[in-house]
Structure 1
Amino acid sequence: MRTFDLSPLYRSTIGFDRLFSLLDQSVGAETPAAYPPYNIERTGENAYRLTLAVAGFGETELSIESRENALTIKGAKEAQPENEARELLYQGIAGRAFERRFQLADHVQVTGARLENGLLHVDLVREIPEAQRPRQIPIGKAAPRATDSGPRAMDSKAA
């Protein structure tokens, strides 16, 4: 197991505490289950799509929850009616319950979700508030001094 010493980064950065905490957690965390498989893709400069393979699940058997900076997707199959008798010779399509958690960066919001051909697509967008967007600061000339000219300087000359 590799360990990383992040203390030099703590000393030379400001405001990245949350990021470093996530790194510490991910290094010590166990490998997550591989079910269901998923893709994360960038669809634009600030847009992303998360796609999960959820074959056999219907819309009513899936739930998506976004809370703070976490996205949780759960799936649970509805119970089979007892009067329906079926004999499976081979079961290759997993129907087990699952829960997938994803950490979202600051200002990433879920904009929509759709189930299509056994794939659950969750669209996300990063919306940075206007106050936090980069802005250009103009460099101006120095303001004139009040002692060189102005009403007080003229009053002293007149007296």
Structure 2
Amino acid sequence: MRTNFDFTPYRRSTVGFDRLFNLLEAGAREDDGHPPFDILKDGEGSYRITIALAGFRPEEIEVVAQQNQLVVTGKPSEEAARGTHIHRGIATRSFERRFQLADFVEAGEATFANGLLSIALKRVVPEAMKPRKIAIAGSSSAARIEAPRDQAREAA
């Protein structure tokens, strides 16, 4: 049974909505839930993503911020597989986790402590995009509009 929706007919009749359809298709993809993560709102316009990465070291993790996207990738090193495991319950397999960021959201500092990777996000709206109040100028008396003088009327 096919569970995803095909947007091809809509792509043929629309122009400029490619990003919207890509976002819808990306959201429809199945997610295995690895690694688990939390998204926390710290304050007005500031957020924090916390990803549980037990068994990884900071040098095995890569965080890349692109245009409206944050990509976190983890690749365990070969030396981490030393010894013979009797039971392996900590998932240290390679992963790639992608987060779609809203417009003007920028990734900040990333910290790794106690098996948790924490990435600060902040919404930074440029001054040109912020609403601004425009003063209305006016005069105390209404301005008078006069038509050009008619020479025949002045001669009379």
TM-score by length of 2: 0.74
1:65 is matched with which residue? 64
Question: Aligned in 2, Cα 1:137/1:81: closer, same or farther, shift over 3 Å?
Answer: closer
Distance 1:105 1:18 in 2: 16
Distance 2:19 2:38 in 1: 22
1:131 is matched with which residue? 128
1:35 is matched with which residue? 34
**Number of residue equivalences:** 140
Query: Secondary structure of the equivalent of 1:93?
Result: coil
TM-score by length of 1: 0.73
Distance 1:136 1:61 in 2: 49
Query: Secondary structure of the equivalent of 2:24?
Result: helix
Distance 1:98 1:43 in 2: 26
> Which letter maps to 2:58?
E
Residue 31 of structure 1, CA deviation: 1.6
Residue 137 of structure 1, CA deviation: 2.8
**For structure 2, which runs of at least 5 residues remain unmatched after alignment?**
11-15, 150-156
Task: Tell me whether 138-147 or 69-78 shows the greater mean CA deviation.
Answer: 138-147
Residue 135 of structure 1, CA deviation: 1.5
Question: Aligned in 2, Cα 1:127/1:72: closer, same or farther, shift over 3 Å?
Answer: same
1:10 is matched with which residue? none
1:92 is matched with which residue? 89
Distance 1:133 1:64 in 2: 29
Identity of aligned residues (%): 35
> Which letter maps to 2:86?
L
1:114 is matched with which residue? 111
**For structure 1, which runs of at least 5 residues remain unmatched after alignment?**
8-15, 154-159
1:49 is matched with which residue? 48
Residue 145 of structure 1, CA deviation: 4.0
